[in-house]
Amino acid sequence: MTDNNVAKSDLSVQLGRLTLANPILVASGTFGYAREMERLVDLSRLGGILPKTITKAPRAGNHPWRTIETSAGLLNSIGLDNDGIDAFIAHHLPYLASLSTSVIVSIAGRSQDEFVELASRLSEEDGIAGLELNISCPNVTGGVDYGTDPTLCEKLVANVRESCRLPVIAKLTPNVTCIADIACAAAAGGADAVSLINTVLGMAIDWKRQRPMLGNVVGGLSGPAIKPVALRCVHQVARAVDIPIIGIGGISNIDDAMEFLVAGASAVQIGTANYYDPTVSMTILDQLPDALKQLGATRTDDIVRSLQLPEPVEPATVAPTA
């Protein structure tokens, strides 16, 4: 036998115009600006890094408490705390661009014009592999409509694509009746890929004080608690669109990652698990070739969308409504 199976595996994935070294990415908002993780994680091994979402103007973010632990999950209402695009380009991008890893910049605008402005400015910068449109953050006012209204979503994605040369990924919210409808709209608008899911709207209450626990009253739930919801969303979207999907939601070990790939994701983003197991991305990456081999595969692509459904399938439960 030669060296090992790792050498033989081709982990690279193609997401529209975007090529990644492997399918293990880290999700926006759960990895800071990567510099924080330099000591704990070999950043060069990651398939992609999504730094914390940036906005046009600096945002202080929401009042504490900003996160509350729930059963197998974490509620957050951080509120896109960031220093704005100017500071990002001046202070964070040079570091990110120096890494030999694909950097996908997550952006959020309050209006279509803001999204377009952010995209066209970043399009002029070196060292960015793609953009992820955060049209799904539950903790801010404005911007979420693009993730809940198919017409607005399609128009936004189309306008952003027109305004920049970079591959565009739309990050979708599960807080809709039919996520496949939104994914179809993003695909129609020309998205290179869709990523899903962002957090699930939730709440925590201190009944003794009769008050909400989060500073922002409601927040987004993440972590293992939402994995079944995320898997269902990926499955539904995979049956509705042809563009690649990036699966997100409660992934904390190799089994979780494999479930998403089989369900239809071409790549995955690890989110909340980075908080409670900082080296989790490396662990999953180490175990990926062996897991592929268990399915007789050497390439990530071999198992993407390989879910075998029982017959007959009731179309009403899996097909988009539009």
Partner 1 sequence: MSNPLHAKFYADQATQSSVEVVENLEMARDTYRVRFRCPEIAARALPGQFVMLRLANYDDPLIGRPLAVYDVLQSQAGEPESIDVLYLVKGKLTTRLVNFQPGQRLDVWGPLGNGFEPIATSHLVMVAGGIGQTPFVCLAKEYLGLQSFGTPAREPARSKRVTLCYGGRSAELLAGVEDFKQLGVDVRIATDDGSLGHHGLVTDVLSRVLAESEQECQVVCCGPEPMMEAVAKVTANADVPCRVSLETPMACGIGICFTCVAKVRDDSGEWDYKRTCVDGPVFDAELIEW
Give yes or no for a contact between 189 and 157, defined as CB atoms under 8 angstroms apart. yes
Is residue 147 a contact point for partner 1 (CB under 8 A)?
A: no
Residues in Cβ contact with 253 at an 8 Å cutoff, skipping those fewer than 6 apart: 280, 283, 284
Q: Which stretch binds partner 1 (CB under 8 A): 65-73, 106-114, 142-150, 187-195?
A: 65-73
List the interface residues with partner 1, window 217-276 (CB under 8 A): 223-224, 272, 274-276
Amino acid at 219: G
Q: Which of 10, 16, 61, 110 binds partner 1 (CB under 8 A)?
A: 61
Each residue 179-208 as x (binds partner 1 by CB under 8 A) or -, in order, gives ------------------------------
Each residue 71-110 as x (binds partner 1 by CB under 8 A) or -, in order, gives xxxx-x-x--x-x---x---xx------------------
**Using CA atoms in the order 240, 243, 248, 249, what is the torsion angle rounded to 10 degrees?**
0
Q: Which of 5, 19, 64, 205 binds partner 1 (CB under 8 A)?
A: 64
Q: Give the integer Cα–Cα distance in Å for 64 and 42.
A: 31
Q: Give the integer Cα–Cα distance in Å for 122 and 128.
A: 8
Is residue 69 a contact point for partner 1 (CB under 8 A)?
A: yes
Q: Which of 9, 55, 67, 173 binds partner 1 (CB under 8 A)?
A: 67
Amino acid at 3: D
Q: Residue 155 Cβ, how far from partner 1 at the closest point, in Å?
A: 31
Q: Where does residue 286 rank: exposed (0-12), middle (13-18), buried (19+ CB within 10 A)?
A: middle
Q: Residue 275 Cβ, how far from partner 1 at the closest point, in Å?
A: 4
N- to C-terminal Cα separation, the chain: 52
Q: Which of 4, 19, 279, 294 binds partner 1 (CB under 8 A)?
A: 279
Q: Residue 225 Cβ, how far from partner 1 at the closest point, in Å?
A: 8
Give the pairing type, strands 73-76 and 67-70: antiparallel
Residues in Cβ contact with 207 at an 8 Å cutoff, skipping those fewer than 6 apart: none
Residues noted as catalytic: 137
Binding site for partner 1 (CB under 8 A): 29-32, 35-40, 52, 60-61, 64-67, 69, 71-74, 76, 78, 81, 83, 87, 91-92, 223-224, 272, 274-279
